[in-house]
A and B are shown apart, each in its own frame.
Chain A
Amino acid sequence: MDLLELRGVCKTYHLGEVDVPVLKGVSLSIAKGELVALMGASGSGKSTLMNILGCLDHPSAGEYWLDGKEVSGAGTNERARLRNRLIGFVFQSFNLLARTTALENVIMPLNYAAEHLAEHEMRERGAELLRKVGLSERMDHQPSQLSGGQQQRVAIARSLINRPRLLLADEPTGNLDSRTSEEILDMFKNLNQSEGLTVILVTHDPGVAEHAKRVIRIRDGLIEKS
């Protein structure tokens, strides 16, 4: 069964009086438990597609089915709820809160969703995830005291805190050296294999894409047939 499916998705930006079509009818489907790489050069519409997949933006036309629901017409607040419940984000620049401990960073998204959880339950869940990414020793460290790879692992733990269906990683290794990159990519693979988490790696690096079972290439706003 497909976790998500795009049907003829178009996205057009209006810059003044000029219409700039970025996505020109993208159709694709990703099944539960897949590890997919989304590749494309800059300007190909890769980021726009990722924003739509991550429910940060809505398509101008077309349908987006996510977890059995049509979400292309969802409003701002509805999309915020979808992001919170279904999607985990990992960014190129980690985006951790400065001067905030690793644990606090990990449980931050719970502030907006899990109001039923008590403080210590939140902390337990965060600590467990940090153990899983191998940072049980550094829970009280602040981002400035962590290496790039460790920071990215904190970010991965954070993206998993709400038990998402889909992990969306935007150039997750862009700021890391090759050895650390391998570690991080192995972690994604592990998550994908052991827990059946659907992972989309957005990248322009063929080396990263190699790790994926399937590669979706995008060029000029259209999916290239592979």
Chain B
Amino acid sequence: MKFLRILRTSLRALRRNVLRAALTTLGIVIGVAAVIAMMEIGNGSTMAIQRTIATMGAFNLLVFPGNMATAGVSFGSGSSITLTPGDADAIVTECPSIIAAAPIVRTRTQIVYGNRNWAPNSMMGTTPAFLEVRDWTEMAEGEAFTDRDVRNCSKVCLVGQTIVRELFAGESPIGKDIRMQNVNMKVIGVLRPKGANMMGSDQDDIVLAPWTTIKYRVTGTSVSTPNLSAAAAAAASATVLPSQVYPNYSLSLYSVPSAVQTTDTPAPVRFAGIDQIVAAARTGEQVPSAIEEITALMRERHHLRGDMPDDFNIRDLTEIMKTMSSTTELMTNLLLIVALISLVVGGVGIMNIMLVSVTERTREIGLRMAVGAQGPDILRQFLTEAVVLCLLGGIFGIGLGRATSWVVRVVKHWPTATSLGAIIAAVVVSATVGIVFGFYPAWKASRLDPIEALRYE
């Protein structure tokens, strides 16, 4: 009730000089508008920058197999094969911070098309999830292979821009077969250009295929013989088996095991080892929790007891992450400084006019005191006026700022993003400016002597 009365008195006083009130609050309007517009444009830019950095793989986590040590000699990271495609699937389904994960099988061979040949920098067998992880789902041409291709060991592949240039001399490779270790692979898609990575190696010099195809067809291992020398031996023995050369030749080199023998000595089931898993966290903030989740999951899946060391390594791209967070921080600080300066300028304007107003209305103050207003009543009245002025300025500023950012978005096509935080901050800050800069004039008014004030000309 009382507050409403004070508010009404203040509004009435402001209405007595609308133009001046509007000009007074212009500083706040422009300040708040600048803050809102900058925040919205800045937020949009930050998001755009983050998206760009994310395509560089900022949220990516790399899981490598652990090292193997024999007789005190360590073979370094990745020397033992402990990761399986199942691990990749489990990471996606069981780690809430992970949005996608893909197994990777690496190889390096020559690829041939027509009379040209080339040895790509990286040849990877993977799943379609890899494209999601690397933010590479849109093809420049053709389309990506599917999970079905992975299950079927389809002889299909995707090639990078460098391959198109070097192997196909720029013509479209879609539908053409390239030869890879005597396996014909049909090119079904061309990846979009990504350029060099941070270390300068060409990311477009790449061939992607289903990991099953690379593992079982190209590198020549099979499910039951995961290890390369065994595979070679098997292949060697397979080619020279007399039974294949002479179908009627029934000599068996080894005695055929009986059913009992087979049951007694089951063939050891080996998982298909993979070289690496790449996973993408949902956001930058979730990278640490993603690492924890993957560690816990892998230890469980690999049956590691509490005191046993991890048989895998997880790496994140700390450097890129740091770049991103420092970019964001810089942006935020810059905006904060701009905001502070403009609001202080606006606040000084408010204080200036409020002081003028107090002087100008000395007689009114004297009259109010003569009819019984006490110091605090006068203080409250002028403080309310200042705060109302600032809040109105803030509200207009928010509208103006949003309009500005809308214009920028529509006309200049800059990315903008609404910032609720900025709006709340603008209201709070403009009210605070009103209180801080309105207090001194109001206090001065409340300290006037009614006799002097009534006599003031």
Q: Residues of A with Cβ closer than 8 Å to B?
A: 51, 54, 56-57, 76-77, 80-81, 83-85, 89, 91, 95, 97-100, 104, 108-109, 111-113, 115, 158, 162
A199 and B9 alpha carbons, distance in the complex (Å): 30
Q: Does B299 contact A (CB under 8 A)?
A: no
Contact with A along B374-403 (1 / 0, CB 8 A): 110100000000000000000000000000
A177 and B451 alpha carbons, distance in the complex (Å): 26
Q: Which of B16, B369, B454 contacts A80 (CB 8 A)?
A: B369
Chain B nearest CB from A142 CB (Å) reads: 10
- The answer on a CB contact under 8 Å between A112 and B371 is yes
- In chain A, what residue has the closest Cβ to B457? A93
A89 and B371 alpha carbons, distance in the complex (Å): 7
- In chain A, what residue has the closest Cβ to B366? A95
Chain B nearest CB from A97 CB (Å) reads: 6
Q: Which of A77, A80, A91, A115 contacts B1 (CB 8 A)?
A: A115
Which residues in chain B, 1-43, are within 8 Å of chain A measured between CB atoms? 1-2, 5, 9, 12, 15-16
- In chain B, what residue has the closest Cβ to A155? B367
If the complex has contacts A95-B367, A111-B9, are A76 and B451 also in contact, measured as CB distance less than 8 A? no
Q: Which of A84, A98, A100 contacts B372 (CB 8 A)?
A: A84
Which secondary structure dominates where chain B touches chain A?
Answer: helix
Which of B9, B363, B364, B370 lies at the interface centre, i.e. has the most chain A CB atoms within 10 A of its CB? Answer: B370
List, in ascending order, chain A residues with CB within 8 A of B179's CB.
none
Closest CB pairs A-B (n = 10): A84-B372, A109-B371, A99-B16, A112-B372, A80-B374, A95-B367, A112-B373, A77-B374, A83-B372, A89-B370
If the complex has contacts A95-B454, A111-B5, A115-B1, are A84 and B371 also in contact, measured as CB distance less than 8 A? yes
Interchain Cβ contacts under 8 Å between A and B, 10 examples: A51-B451, A54-B370, A77-B374, A80-B373, A108-B368, A108-B371, A112-B368, A112-B371, A112-B377, A115-B1
Q: Which of A91, A112, A115 contacts B454 (CB 8 A)?
A: A91
Q: Which of A51, A97, A99, A112 contacts B374 (CB 8 A)?
A: A112
Chain A nearest CB from B19 CB (Å) reads: 13
- The answer on a CB contact under 8 Å between B370 and A83 is yes
List, in ascending order, chain B residues with CB within 8 A of A115's CB.
1-2, 5
- The answer on a CB contact under 8 Å between B374 and A98 is no
Contact with A along B332-375 (1 / 0, CB 8 A): 00000000000000000000000000000001101111111111
A-B contact count (CB 8 A): 60
Chain B nearest CB from A137 CB (Å) reads: 23
Q: Which of B1, B5, B363, B371 contacts A83 (CB 8 A)?
A: B371
Chain B nearest CB from A27 CB (Å) reads: 23
- In chain B, what residue has the closest Cβ to A88? B371
Q: Does B103 contact A (CB under 8 A)?
A: no
Contact with A along B245-261 (1 / 0, CB 8 A): 00000000000000000
Q: How many residues of B contact A (CB 8 A)?
A: 23
Q: Does B273 contact A (CB under 8 A)?
A: no
Q: Does B434 contact A (CB under 8 A)?
A: no
Q: Does B120 contact A (CB under 8 A)?
A: no
Q: Does B438 contact A (CB under 8 A)?
A: no
If the complex has contacts A57-B451, A100-B12, A100-B16, are A113 and B375 also in contact, measured as CB distance less than 8 A? no
Which residues in chain B, 400-457, are within 8 Å of chain A measured between CB atoms? 450-451, 454
Chain B nearest CB from A129 CB (Å) reads: 14
A111 and B368 alpha carbons, distance in the complex (Å): 10
List, in ascending order, chain B residues with CB within 8 A of A162's CB.
371-372
7 additional A-B pairs beyond A95-B364, A112-B372, beta carbons within 8 Å, are A56-B451, A81-B374, A95-B366, A95-B367, A108-B371, A112-B368, A162-B371
- The answer on a CB contact under 8 Å between A85 and B372 is yes
A113 and B373 alpha carbons, distance in the complex (Å): 8
- In chain A, what residue has the closest Cβ to B455? A47
List, in ascending order, chain A residues with CB within 8 A of B450's CB.
56
Which of B364, B372, B375, B451 lies at the interface centre, i.e. has the most chain A CB atoms within 10 A of its CB? Answer: B372
A51 and B370 alpha carbons, distance in the complex (Å): 10
If the complex has contacts A100-B12, A104-B12, are A95 and B372 also in contact, measured as CB distance less than 8 A? no
A100 and B361 alpha carbons, distance in the complex (Å): 14
List, in ascending order, chain A residues with CB within 8 A of B374's CB.
76-77, 80-81, 112
List, in ascending order, chain A residues with CB within 8 A of B372's CB.
80-81, 83-85, 109, 112-113, 162
A99 and B364 alpha carbons, distance in the complex (Å): 12
Chain A nearest CB from B45 CB (Å) reads: 48
- The answer on a CB contact under 8 Å between A95 and B363 is yes
A42 and B121 alpha carbons, distance in the complex (Å): 106
A113 and B371 alpha carbons, distance in the complex (Å): 9
A155 and B283 alpha carbons, distance in the complex (Å): 70
